Amino acid sequence: MSYNVLADKDKISELILKYNLALDLLETQLNMIIKEFEFKNKYNPVEHIKSRLKSESSALEKLEKKGYDITIENLKNHIHDMVGIRIVCSFISDVYDIVNIIKNSKQFKIKSEKDYIENPKDTGYISYHMIVLVPIYFNDNIEYIEAEIQIRTIAMDFWASLDHKIQYKFPEETPKSVKEELYDCSLVIQALDRKMYQLNENVKNSNNL
């Protein structure tokens, strides 16, 4: 089954175009506000940025897992991460600096946010998630497109990447013992992040003496 069976091809193409426009615009806006932060603070908190547009097949699979019919309306209303940006920072403090400059930006609206750093998932997943509304101009109208921004440290990104690769190897449910090991690794990652943050703060304080 594919979108083409259940929806007009032109409508799907138009929607994908809007997502692409939103992704391009969001990348540009984020780069601008990060460069402004760097200029003001003489410091760039970002290690690297990754972006992606979720494929139609992935979106279809996600809709099916959620139990929704395959329609364009359900795609727009229930898939919030078609447009995705991941910002990887050095330290925990950098994550919250990025969160704050995004919140203070007038380029887009914040729809929702979840702090999985203060409140990690039961799996051990740690990151900061934001859903933003990106204004695009299409057919002389302004339309707001949802995009997900994930902000995390290098250590958090390392854990999340390997967690995905390990769990992907199990076609069915991941064994409990593996989940427990991954959770324990997450605790180590969290402790490492705190230690590296404190070390960085100590170095900065000593340089200011």
User: What does each of the 209 residues of the chain score in pLDDT, given as a tens digit?
Assistant: 444 444 567 788 888 899 999 999 999 999 999 999 999 999 999 999 999 999 888 888 888 888 888 888 888 888 899 999 999 999 999 999 999 999 999 888 999 999 999 999 999 999 999 999 999 998 888 999 999 999 999 999 999 999 888 877 777 788 888 889 999 999 999 999 999 999 988 988 887 65
> What is the predicted pLDDT for the residue at 1?
43
**pLDDT value, residue 4:** 46
pTM (two decimals)? 0.89
pLDDT of amino acid 26: 95
CA angle (85, 171, 78) in 5-degree steps: 40
Q: Which DSSP string do the residues of 191-205 spell out, in sequence order?
A: HHHHHHHHHHHHHHH
Please give the Cα distance from 3 to 48 (Å, whole number): 34
Cα of first residue to Cα of last residue in the chain, in angstroms, is: 66
Sheet of 83-89, strands arranged across: 46-53, 83-89, 141-153, 128-138, 109-115
The pLDDT of residue 3: 46
